[in-house]
């Protein structure tokens, strides 16, 4: 292989990598949108449970509300990430390093939001069964 072919392969791999990063963010956004929608349905469901069953406390509605707050926090972090990346050429290396850690933590928060939504759903199902 000649150097020109190697350069073309490197350029193609860089484009694939860039597209992969964009697609990852797109998938996170789609997951968060679905979690928001589902959590709002759960909030309505908790209100309905409170009205139907007298034994359920009104404070049980706080369970999906806290989950909603977590989802809003994650969306805020994703927005801050996009703002940073929009001005990345103006940033210093130390700021880029800090941004990398922020990105990693945001991904962990996304996983946490999936788990907490699952827990909220399980609690809701338990209320229905009991």
Whole-prediction pTM: 0.76
From CA 35, how far away is CA 45, in angstroms rounded? 15
**What is the pLDDT tens value at each position of the chain, 130 positions in all?**
578 888 888 888 878 877 777 777 778 788 889 999 999 999 999 999 888 888 888 888 898 999 999 999 888 888 887 787 778 778 787 887 777 777 777 778 888 989 999 999 999 999 888 7
Question: For the chain, how far is it from start to end, CA to CA, in angstroms?
Answer: 69
- Work out the angle between the directed axes of helices 62-86 and 3-52 (0-180°, nearest 10): 160
From CA 7, how far away is CA 33, in angstroms rounded? 39
Give pLDDT, residue 42: 94
- DSSP character string of 71-85: HHHHHHHHHHHHHHH
Give pLDDT, residue 1: 59
Give pLDDT, residue 95: 80
What are the φ/ψ torsions at residue 2 (nearest 5 degrees)? -95, 165
Using the 8-state DSSP alphabet, how is residue 90 labeled?
G
Give pLDDT, residue 54: 82
Give pLDDT, residue 2: 77
């Amino acid at each position: 292989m000649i150097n020109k072919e190697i350069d073309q392969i490197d350029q193609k791999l860089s484009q694939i990598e860039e597209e992969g990063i964009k697609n990852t963010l797109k998938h996170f956004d789609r997951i968060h949108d679905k979690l928001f929608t589902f959590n709002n349905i759960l909030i309505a469901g908790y209100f309905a449970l409170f009205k139907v069953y007298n034994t359920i406390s009104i404070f049980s509605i706080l369970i999906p509300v806290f989950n909603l707050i977590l989802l809003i926090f994650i969306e805020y972090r994703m927005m801050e990430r996009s703002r940073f990346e929009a001005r990345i050429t103006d940033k210093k290396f130390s700021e880029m390093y800090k941004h990398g850690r922020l990105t990693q933590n945001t991904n962990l928060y996304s996983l946490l939001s999936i788990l907490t939504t699952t827990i909220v759903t399980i609690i809701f199902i338990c209320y229905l069964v009991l």
